[in-house]
Chain A
Amino acid sequence: MNKKFKTMNDIIKPVNDEEAIQMLHQFNEDLLPKKFGRIGVIWTIFLCAVIINGLFCYIKQLRYGLSVTGMGDIVSWGIYISNFVFFVAVSLVGSLITAVLYLLNVNWRSPLTRIAEIIALACIIFAGLIIIVDMGRPDRILNMFIHGRIQSPIVWDVIVVMTYMAISFLLLYFPLLPGIAFCRDHIPGIPKWQKWMYKTLSFRWKWKPEQFQIVKRAISILSVMIIPVALSIHTVTSWLFATTYRPGWDSTIFGPYFVAGAFMVGAAAVIAAMYVFVRFYPRYDQYITDKHFDRMGILLVLLSLIYLYFNVNEYLVPGYKMKGDDADYLTELFIGKFAPMFWSVQILGMILPIILLMFKKFRRPFPIFIISVFVIVGAWFKRFLIVIPTLLHPFLPMQEVPEKYKIYVPTYPEWSITFASLAGALLVITVFVRYFPIISIWEVAEERGVSHDVIYKHLNEGK
């Protein structure tokens, strides 16, 4: 059996119902959530510790105000905002893998959809939370709804982020319904509360082929719906900057530039997650194969090339002119104080990955995992470089402000809270993996020729 699924093209379809049922058993055994081993437990405790540390710092921030951060009247937005942009960017991948590849009828996507969706949902939740952390008066958050003004890009952002969160949740939940039912019916010896949770969440799923048809219909409707919303969340997020006058933000291509960057980091995030799952779940390599890494690698190169194209436009065209207001800002990026970060991000986080991933041997699981981590870290610092240097180059000279406002160094509480938000997103994914199948069993079964009728007949036998 093992050999059968080594690569996607060699899938051997079941010849009869008996074999199909046998395959289904194998899928359940391989893919149903299992108790964490030692590493899983340590990882979860580590994430919780980071989050608790962040919560303590946030309480401190609530008490003493945003003065506990490194921000000032010049750099009035710091790593909270760049982290927010990062989260929104990563969350876009849900729509890419689930919707775009679905509509393009890419057949190898099915083991990856749920990974992409849970990353998307976790990130968009923490994007919303980190923006509240950045608020000076979080106690007045309801003013957004009481006094909201439609002219403000922030209101647009709230609307589209909430819509995206809802659609992402549904796009995770509908295909998960049969998965929860698998957990309900096939995990032996689970505690009562867990049984109850599966029972409630599966909404009395009965394995009827009609139910599958409804789920599939829901997925195709949501897949179409999510694409414009996904493009909007990151376009509107880019407008938070592009609707201002500041050199470096005052750009007409910020929308597509952000969307391209988001797809790149999102694809890298999925690759990194794929590697982690394959590494820690011994049988997952039967489902997420080398071929999946290879294909995702090609996709990442394509997306990175698009991003490179936008980067050339965004930096080199103004750099050619060196217009008065842009000149100081660009000089600082190219050869000044931010140059080491700027060139590291551009080279290690974009150009080098493009070159390396063109070669097949770098698209093998381990090398591509390392490259993806570089892309993700690079993408985080890229958002830093989009937000902070611009604020340090206002139109009027930085005079009559305290010296500490003229530089920006994030403080310990600020880093703690930022890391806590990243840990929070990872914890959501971790907890999800502990209790739900991260690879969609029924979609894999369907891809490998196990029909819904077989599943229905088999699972209702003896009842």
Chain B
Amino acid sequence: MTDDSKQDNKRDGKNDRRDFLRKSLLTGGILAAGAFGFEKVFSADKQSGEKVKVLTADGKLVEVDSAHITESGPCCTSPKESRKGIPGRKFVMVIDLAKCEDTQKCQKACQKHHFLPQQDKWLKVFKMQESPETAPFWMPKPCFHCDHPPCVKVCPVDATYKREDGIVLIDNERCIGCRFCMAACPYSTRSFNWSEPILPAEHAKDCYSPETSVPRKKGTVEKCDFCPDMLRQGKLPHCVTACPNSVYYFGDLNEDTVTNGDETVRFSELIRKKSGYRYLESLGTEPSVYYLPPVNRIFPFEDRAEDKNG
């Protein structure tokens, strides 16, 4: 926990608003991590003599023996805890299609942090062309974290759920693998672990949390999770930070603020000025991901090598 705050303080925000966003996210992160640390206090019985101060969920500062605290990483929020979401938040993403030149850095970061193999891509970058006469463009597509999620509606066991902060997650310790959510999702967002997932040895035994989606489990459904483990630490999702062209804006609808790492702007202003829209609005799923149209592009459209050949 103390590590996170140090890291966060070290980083200099480019303006006040960004700092503010970070800090408010951070508070949530500390509270959750504190709650976890406090739980650990009662489960350990060794003593080391070295005392450490931790913040409990109800805001008290308590001193405990350092041996009582296990280094579990800040992300291991229990399945029960991860159903609640980060209080007071409503996450939103804006993707500026004008800036995307298909570097796939976002995708690589996502693959790396979720230990995904080549064939499973939670974040896909589509080559879109509405009709033969219209210009092609690249369209990165994460999970839309819909406000009326068709996938959540059809889940028979409440394994996938909508949290109060807008994020749709999957509890892979409850999922029965019926794949109804995959049929219900109109955006082909979800993927399935058809066989035993291969994980790096050091992460295979990690404690499971729906917020990290790691370790992945055979016979269950998974998808883009908006990286709630990062959000709890006050950081941005991996795809947002990895993008060299600042395509992604991420933020909070309640605060009406989004940031792409370079600039922090009013969400409503951005959407109004650049005619933001949501994909397949007519389905009524109310996605949390908005697109800015691919106008005045700064890059020429270049096809991928494999597409050129094929």
Contacts and interface: CB of A to CB of B under 8 A. Distances in A.
Q: Is B one of A's binding partners? A: yes
B174 A64 contact: no
B160 to A, nearest CB: 10
B192 interface: yes
A459 B188 CA distance: 67
B69 to A, nearest CB: 32
B194 A397 contact: no
Contact of A136 (B125, B174, B190, B218): B218
B153 interface: yes
Chain B interface helix/strand/loop/mixed: loop
A65 B177 CA distance: 11
A299 interface: no
Given A137-B177, A399-B124, A67 B156 contact: no
Contact of A65 (B150, B196, B283): B196
Contacts of A246: 183, 186
B220 A64 contact: no
B175 A137 contact: yes
A143 B186 contact: no
A250 to B, nearest CB: 9
B179 A65 contact: no
B283 A245 contact: yes
B176 interface: yes
B157 interface: yes
Contacts of B182: 73, 76
B20 interface: no
A240 B180 contact: yes
Interface in B125-180: 125-128, 141, 150, 153-159, 174-180
Contacts, number: 138
Given A65-B218, A76-B192, A152-B154, A396 B184 contact: no
Chain A interface helix/strand/loop/mixed: loop
A399 B155 contact: no
B188 A74 contact: yes
B204 interface: no
A135 B157 contact: no
A397 B126 contact: yes
Contacts of B124: 396, 399-400
Nearest to A65: B195
B238 interface: no
A149 B158 contact: yes
B174 A394 contact: no
A152 B180 contact: yes
B301 interface: no
B220 A136 contact: yes
Interface residues of A, number: 47
A134 B194 contact: no
A134 B156 CA distance: 15
Q: Indicate the member of B157, B182, B184 with the most A CB atoms within 10 Å.
A: B157
Nearest to B197: A65
A385 B269 CA distance: 47
Q: Indicate the member of A135, A155, A400, A401 with the most B CB atoms within 10 Å.
A: A400
B219 interface: yes
Nearest to A397: B126
Given A67-B194, A67-B195, A136-B176, A396 B188 contact: yes
Interface of B: 118-121, 124-128, 141, 150, 153-159, 174-180, 182-184, 186-188, 190-196, 218-221, 280, 283
Interface of A: 64-67, 69, 71-74, 76-77, 134-138, 140-141, 143-144, 146-149, 151-155, 158, 240-241, 243-246, 391, 394-402, 405
29 contacts: A65-B194, A66-B192, A69-B194, A73-B182, A73-B190, A73-B192, A76-B179, A76-B183, A76-B192, A135-B177, A136-B178, A137-B220, A143-B174, A147-B158, A147-B159, A152-B155, A154-B156, A241-B183, A243-B153, A391-B183, A394-B186, A395-B186, A395-B188, A396-B124, A396-B141, A397-B126, A397-B128, A399-B126, A401-B119
Given A147-B158, A154-B154, 12 more contacts: A64-B195, A65-B194, A65-B196, A67-B194, A74-B188, A138-B176, A153-B180, A154-B156, A154-B180, A244-B186, A245-B186, A399-B126
